[in-house]
Structure 1
Amino acid sequence: MGTTKTTTAKKTKKATAKKAAAAAKAVKTSVKKQAKKSAKKPVAPVKSASLQDFISAALDADKAQDIVCIPLKGKTSIADYMIIATGTSSRHVASMARNLRDKLSQERQIKARIEGVESGDWAILDTGDVMVHIFRAEVRAFYDLEKLWGADFSTVNYTLYQSV
């Protein structure tokens, strides 16, 4: 009987050792797979100033009117810049917001959160560092975010592009 206990103990030790080796191998392969996945897309950190320029140019290409950029550093921690633009109609506002979201996703790999596209009066895109507000003209005049955030047009001209 003593030999059966030792052979059974040896078998369980071998089985346990095999299971441990298989588990260690599985961990190694999963770590290698994760390392390969993360190594595929090295994304450079986005600087908010270059992002601001990119967004302003994209809005200008979509025929936005009165594009204004307000630096928010030192005023709030929600963003570094706020860009305000005007669309000619509800459809134009919604179209510009969707186009900007798509351009940010495709060209900058930024997933911007978007709100207000359904109504078309006021669309907001949040990229993290830059907040973008796209208004219809009447809605922009009503809320007057430039005044609220203290855009001082007497000392610095914040208008990036003037539509013709």
Structure 2
Amino acid sequence: MAAAEPKRVRGRKRPAPLSPDRLEILVTAAKKSLEDDKAEDIKVLDVTGRASYADRIIIATGLADRQIQAMATHLQETLAKEGMKLKRDAIQASSEWVLIDCGDMVIHLFKPEARETFRLEKMWGDDSPKAESGSGYEPV
């Protein structure tokens, strides 16, 4: 039986899913990178089975543009050391928010005001449908 083809996401082929162990290694590395860069209020959301585009969402706050840009750069370097090379279009940035699409893991870096506006924790946390735990960290 042939392996399933990766899903297409907005006109591009989605990479094959990561193994649960590999995903946890990448989540841990990303979280450590954010902690090293003094990101605030880091949350890891397990959205397995609830989001079609990812199994983990990481949300963190930076206080200044330079801090958020440094966090994004260091995340890219950290993930590359772990063997994950991001495509050029994997990073989307605005003045208030940086989104890094790592396939099964999506990272959002917000300024405080934008984080409060978008409230992703409320959308994907415990109050949302089918919140699950069991992955070494508590779902939000």
Fold in common (TM above 0.5) = yes
The C-alpha deviation readout for 1:72-127, integer Å capped at 9, x for no partner, is 1110221110000000112211111111112211x1121222110xx341001111
Separation in 1 of the partners of 2:22 and 2:105?
A: 10
Q: Please show how residues 16-31 of structure 1 align to structure 2 within 5 Å.
A: none
1:47 match: secondary structure? helix
Once the two structures are superposed, what CA deviation does each residue of 1:11-51 show, in whole Å capped at 9, x if it has no partner?
A: xxxxxxxxxxxxxxxxxxxxxxxxxxxxxxxxx96711221
| Unaligned residue ranges in structure 2 (runs of 5+) | 1-17
The answer to whether the Cα contact below 8 Å between 1:101 and 1:114 also exists between their aligned partners in 2 is: no
Which letter does structure 1 place at the counterpart of 2:62?
G
Q: Does 1 or 2 have the higher relative contact order (CA < 8 Å, sep 6+)? A: 2
Structure with greater helix share of residues: 1
CA RMSD of aligned residues (A): 2.3
Fraction of identical pairs, as percent: 33
TM-score (norm 2): 0.71
Aligned equivalents of 1:99 and 1:78: distance in 2?
23
Aligned to 2:82: 108
Distance 2:117 2:56 in 1: 21
5 Å matches for 1:2-151? 47-105=22-80, 107-112=81-86, 113-116=90-93, 119-149=94-124, 151=125
- How many residue pairs match? The answer is 111
- Using structure 1 for the length normalisation, give the TM-score: 0.61
Q: Are the equivalent residues in 1 in contact too, given 2:47–2:56 (CA < 8 A)?
A: yes
Write the letter of the residue equivalent to 1:129: D
